[in-house]
Structure 1
Amino acid sequence: MTPEMISNLAHTRHPIKSPLGDASVRQLLDRVLPRDGGRVLDLGCGTAEWLLRALETRPGLRAVGVDLSEKSLEIARAAAEARGVADRLELHCQKAEEYTSPEPFDAVLSVGSAHAFGGLLPTLEGARARLAPTGSVLIGDGYWLSEPTAEAVEVLGEFTDLASTVDRVVGEGWVPVYGHASTRQELDHYEWSLWGTLAEWALDHPGHEDGAEVLDWSHARRDEWLHAYRDSFGFLTLVLRRTPAL
């Protein structure tokens, strides 16, 4: 079983694929989506759960998702058909940074997928290049709640604290118009859901050739969370507009 397959399995009960509850997702979408019609782009959409919820929220909206995983896009297409929004969803299997469109978008999303562009600020540059002048960006990435251990940095990569993260974004020409720092409940629910779902699948498939591997994976990831980064990792989601030219 590939890491991608394991990830999709782990997110079965948490398809938004970020440490955010449903109420937070609704509020963030309400702040970033255009009110009447419009077009939204998700860079690194995965199974496109953000776009599916956006399309259900705004009947006149049209959406485009870009991701490298054809398997994830297959899941997205099936879900779009089941939820009655397939006619307004366009999906592309390619690198996010290589996607181009003849028209800019009213909203650009990239939550939990900054790795697609190599980090938070490069992701914002990628969003800017595809955003209409009056459009909004929804971006979500990690930050340090407290001084991280060396193991936490090794597992998750380099972040800064909350204030420094916002300062960096503002310094690149963006105005935060809304933000949400995931709560302890949201962060814990996300981790318990991921690694518990994997463990449950392995226990329910004792004869499967990948069962032992998946169970070991769930144990290892849970231990990393509890011992390496639970107390230091936070997740910030921002709604941004361009800084006006003065």
Structure 2
Amino acid sequence: MTHDDLPPRLGSGLTFHGPLSEARAARFVERLAAVSPGTVLDIGCGQGELLLRVLDAVPGAKGVGIDIDGAELALGRELAAGRGLAERVAYVEESAVGTPHGPADAVLCLGSGQALCEGDSYDLPVILRELRRLVRPGGRVILGEGFWQRTPTEADLAVMWPGAHADDHTPLATLVDLAIEAGFRPLWTETASQEEWEEFESGYRHDAELWLATHPDHPQADELRTRVDRQRSAWLGYRTVLGIAYLTLVPVG
């Protein structure tokens, strides 16, 4: 069996592991570069694409990316080396709970709030308090966080991810209120478009779907097919219910 015969990883080939367009990412980088952060911290960074783009836009800035996925971090180091940024960024394979890698002038946490919570818990006030601890006065936090576009029904929840519950997310207004209570002012409040969602979700499965179409009888096809079909079904279940908010936050005081 050759390497080409092996099934691809879900999400392989994606630039960002979330519904984030190139245009929106460019605006994030532009806004952060405008305040010239000297240090950038990326929580749950994966390959750290947005982190690298910020460092590239701010000469002299240094960054730290934290993740527990060693394979993603290794790819990030390759990206950094290819862009001449290896000396300005550190990829750290460890938990972000209580991380000492802060405070920083800019903090990125896009869809990675769980990295700041103990165990399997997901506590928005805890996440926001940690982000407040990790950003310097006058700095910026870009938070990507899920929210309910409408209150999910029991029927909605039944076709989402296993164990989905109405308390898993809040309405957008509640999310913003919690950020304010944690000591931030929201400079920008924006949400992922349907097009961004569809590009991300279809792109997440694209390579796997193509592989399954060309390797239907492969020994590993049944396992991958089950994973892909389950993930797609979940997305079609939350497609019009779950949103992603991108909050650009500045700490008070």
Distance 2:177 2:131 in 1: 18
SS in 2 for 1:129: helix
Whether 2:144 is the aligned partner of 1:140: answer: yes
Q: Which amino acid is 1:146 matched to?
A: R
- Sort the Cα spacing of 1:57 and 1:143 in 2 relative to 1 into closer, same or farther, 3 A: same
Aligned pairs for 1:74-113 within 5 A: 74-101=74-101, 104-113=103-112
Per-residue deviation, 1:9? 2.5
Q: Which amino acid is 1:66 matched to?
A: I
Distance 2:224 2:84 in 1: 33
SS in 1 for 2:186: strand
Tell me if structure 2 keeps the 8 A contact 1:112–1:141: yes
Aligned pairs for 1:7-46 within 5 A: 9-33=9-33, 35-36=35-36, 38-46=38-46
Distance 1:11 1:196 in 2: 8
Q: 1:237 aligns with which of 236, 240, 246?
A: 246
| 1:191-246 deviation line (CA, Å, top 9, x unaligned) | 111123321233345565433322221111111111x21110100011101123xx
Identical columns (%): 29
1:220 is aligned to: 230
Distance 2:34 2:64 in 1: 15
1:171 is aligned to: 181
- Sort the Cα spacing of 1:115 and 1:180 in 2 relative to 1 into closer, same or farther, 3 A: same
SS in 1 for 2:169: coil
Distance 1:42 1:142 in 2: 18
Q: Which amino acid is 2:48 matched to?
A: A
Q: 1:150 aligns with which of 153, 157, 162?
A: 157
2:4 is aligned to: none
- Runs of 5+ unmatched residues, structure 1: 1-7
Whether 2:129 is the aligned partner of 1:125: answer: yes
Per-residue deviation, 1:180? 1.8
1:4 is aligned to: none
C-alpha root-mean-square deviation of aligned residues, in Å?
A: 2.2
Aligned residues: 235
1:3 is aligned to: none
Q: Which amino acid is 2:191 matched to?
A: A
**149-158 vs 74-83, greater mean Cα deviation:** 149-158
Q: Which amino acid is 1:162 matched to?
A: L
Structure 1 stretches of 4+ with a deviation exceeding 6 A read: none
Distance 1:219 1:45 in 2: 27
SS in 2 for 1:95: coil
TM-score, length of structure 1 as denominator length: 0.86
2:199 is aligned to: 189
Distance 1:188 1:34 in 2: 30
